[in-house]
Amino acid sequence: MIRVVLPAHLKTLAHVSGEVQLDVVGTPTQNSVIDALEARFPALLGTIRDPATQKRRTFIRFFACEEDLSHDSPDAPLPDDVIVGAEAFFVVGAMAGG
């Protein structure tokens, strides 16, 4: 079970409050978690990754275990504490602009 925390705008789009809990097939990675997220909440398609490139959007960051994972490989396994559900995977809207 992967715990995902979304930014406010994406919670609104997905009609959720609080954390989202996802079952991810195989070893959880950034991409597989976002795949599972989009499958469960189609309204989020394209909001975290650019639909054309499938790359993380410029003003999106991925945090977990007090680390910025944004520049890790999107197909690298997530930290063990995220995989076992001890820590959440944070999708963060970068603080930029007004």
Residues that bind other proteins (CB under 8 A): 7, 9-10, 12-13, 42-43, 45-48, 50-52, 57-60, 93-94, 96-97
Indicate the residue among 26 and 58 with the shorter CB distance to other proteins. 58
Task: Give least dist CB 38 to other proteins, A.
Answer: 12
CB 24, min distance to other proteins, A: 22
d(CA 3, CA 72): 19
**Residue 48 beta carbon to other proteins: minimum distance, rounded to whole angstroms:** 7
Amino acid at 56: R
| Minimum CB–partner distance for residue 86 and other proteins (Å) | 28
> Among 29, 25, 22, 30, which residue's Cα sits nearest to residue 4?
22
In one letter, which amino acid is 93?
A: G
Q: Give the residue from 47, 43, 38, 35 showing the smallest Cα distance to 93.
A: 47
Any residues with CB less than 8 A from the CB of 28 and at least 6 apart, and which? 2, 77, 78, 82, 83
Q: Which is nearer to other proteins, 8 or 25 (CB)?
A: 8
Q: Which is nearer to other proteins, 21 or 54 (CB)?
A: 54
